Amino acid sequence: MATIRLTTYSLALSALPLLAACSERSSESLVPAEGSAGTAQESTAPAGATPKLKMPKRGETPAMTAAKVPGGEQSTAPAAPTAATPAPTAATPAPIVTAPPKFVPPTELSRFADPNQISDEDLGKYHVTFRCSVDGEDVGTMTFAMWTGLAPITTRNFLRLCDEGFYDGLTYHRILREFMVQGGDPTGTGGGNGPYGTIQGEMSNDAERAHGYGVLSMARMGNDLNSASTQFFLCCDESPSVWGLDGKYASFGRLTSGVATLEKIASVPTRAVRSREASTPLKTVTIDSAKVVEGPAPTGEAIARPEDGLDLGGEARKIVVQHVLISFDGCNIPGVTRTKEEAEALAKEVLARIEAGEDMDKLAREYSDDPVAAADQTPGCYTLLNTGVRDRAGDRRALKLQQELQAEFAEKSAAFQGQLTEKALTQEEFNANMQALQQDLQMRMMDAVANPRDKMVPAFGDIGFSLQPGAVGLATHDATTSPFGYHVIRRLE
């Protein structure tokens, strides 16, 4: 059963599992069960003596959702992304499954099967076109350039299958809007292979073969790098899940035209079938014909996921705010004893002092009940994304920082462990050092990531997005919209 492992890096403040070595549940291994469209199996890091770096969870800071309170201990991996369409109800029709045509290998050897007929060098003279339909309605043609010089084994196999008509009439059986579309299975289930066995994996971490929107790559079975056969996938987003495929899956080509067709396929509604992954299309998405064409692939079209076209009612897509939380007894903030009336009076006083020109950094350190690290240059600072907005450039920066912090944590925790073993540190000193390291890395990660507005308590985003840069506002306490107390908020950017 060929599959793509989906690395679920969530770059929200509240869901930042690190790599598997230091995360309790850092990724989801999406391995289809026999004869099914896909069954998610959690990959759990083995327990060990080395402490684990836990990134903050949703609800772990007072600015976040009220579902949890600060101080939680579990680090939970986010679920695999689902399609943009709502989960189907009982009235939703079952996915349409049509039997794919049975492939009959040609009696004559394909020209691409024999290097004596077409050499590896000459493979680069060809490109591929896919004409596709959704429930029988033509949705256009996609054109692909082959990376023959970088992945000659993979491209020769793919060109041969296209040339022989193997893909004609097959379907895309797995669609994840924020990840990829997968097809090429003769059974239409995710569990089939082709007529010529498997090929050698040509994985690479080279930048020129990096996975991204429109990149064509081979699916494979489980952890066997040399198990690709006929199933392929086409990336339909730019995200940490896509970038995490580099070096693990054999990319071998890229879309050069047909973005509108890919978008129509990627946007087909899906549902979960015997799996937590809602990736089974509710419509039949078919490769009507796959053709090999001599000559260079046409270029000139911008190959990128189109802008979302969100109507935000005049609000900004992204803002940066700083806040001072004034809480009171009963808001589940540890150590806070003031009354609600005292909190309201103090919040109004802090607001007036900021409006009068006092240093907000100083006031945040003095009064905020949101945890402030000594090294934090701008305490209480958050970057917010408006509802539905994606910050792909920010995702890349945060992913890179996440990997750097993971390496730093591993290095420093190993040094502390060595000092403990050599009795240069007591157990208490070791614990204190590890806690301080954990908090420092968490704060640095929190400063770097953008937080979805809908994951914050409502008043925090409502006030923040209503302000002009430089302006200050007050989110008053409300059990639903501002459950942690009063937020004095300044919009910085």
Which stretch of 125-129, 144-148, 384-388, 440-444 has the lowest confidence by average pLDDT? 440-444
User: What mean pLDDT is reported for the chain?
Assistant: 80
Residue 225 has what DSSP assignment? T
Question: What's the pLDDT at 280?
Answer: 94
Q: What is the mean pLDDT of residues 151-168?
A: 96
Residue 247, burial from CB neighbour count under 10 angstroms (0-12, 13-18, 19+): middle
Tell me the C-alpha to C-alpha distance, in Å, between residue 97 and each of 119, 183, 462.
Answer: 39, 14, 45
Write down how long the chain is.
493
Residue 448 region by backbone torsions, left for phi larger than 0, else alpha for psi between -120 and 50, else beta: alpha
Does residue 47 surpass a pLDDT of 50? no
Secondary structure string (H, E, C) spanning 63-78: CECCCCCCCCCCCCCC
Q: Which of the two residues, 10 and 393, has the higher pLDDT score?
A: 393
Does residue 287 surpass a pLDDT of 60? yes
C-alpha 135/C-alpha 96 separation (Å) is: 9
Decide the pairing of beta strands 232-235 and 270-271: unpaired
Question: What's the pLDDT at 107?
Answer: 65
* Domain residue spans of the chain: 1-40+58-68+105-306, 318-491
Residues 253-276 pLDDT 10s: 999 999 999 999 999 999 988 778
Share of the chain above pLDDT 70, in %: 78
Question: What's the pLDDT at 98?
Answer: 53
Instruction: Give the domain 318-491 fold.
Output: Chitinase A; domain 3 (3.10.50)
Q: Which of 477, 18, 486, 492 is nearest to 240 (CA)?
A: 18
Decide if 274 contacts 36 (C-beta within 8 A).
yes
Question: What's the pLDDT at 344?
Answer: 96
Decide if 486 contacts 334 (C-beta within 8 A).
no
CA 314 to chain centre: 27
Q: How confident is the model at residue 5 (pLDDT cuts 50, 70, 90)?
A: very low
Question: How does DSSP assign 293-312, residue by residue?
Answer: EESPPP--S--SPPP-----
Residues 470-490 pLDDT 10s: 999 999 999 999 999 999 999
400: which 2 tokens? 């890179």
Question: What's the pLDDT at 50?
Answer: 44
Element (H, E) at 340: helix 340-355
C-alpha 441/C-alpha 443 separation (Å) is: 5
Q: How confident is the model at residue 202 (pLDDT cuts 50, 70, 90)?
A: very high
Is-same-fold flag (1-40+58-68+105-306; 318-491)? no
Residue whose entry in the numeric block shows the structure tokens 């029988």: 136
Which stretch of 22-31, 184-193, 295-304, 415-424 has the lowest confidence by average pLDDT? 22-31
Which pTM value belongs to this model? 0.67
Residues 203-237 pLDDT 10s: 999 999 999 999 999 999 888 999 999 999 999 99
Q: How confident is the model at residue 16 (pLDDT cuts 50, 70, 90)?
A: very low
Does residue 163 surpass a pLDDT of 50? yes
Long-range Cβ contacts of 388-394 (<8 Å, 24+ apart)? 388/308, 388/310, 389/308, 389/310, 389/312, 389/317, 389/318, 389/452, 390/308, 391/318, 391/450, 392/238, 392/239, 394/11, 394/449, 394/450
Q: Which of the two residues, 18 and 379, has the higher pLDDT score?
A: 379
Does the structural domain 1-40+58-68+105-306 have CATH classification 2.40.100.10?
Answer: yes
Does residue 491 surpass a pLDDT of 90? yes
Q: Which of the two residues, 397 and 423, has the higher pLDDT score?
A: 423
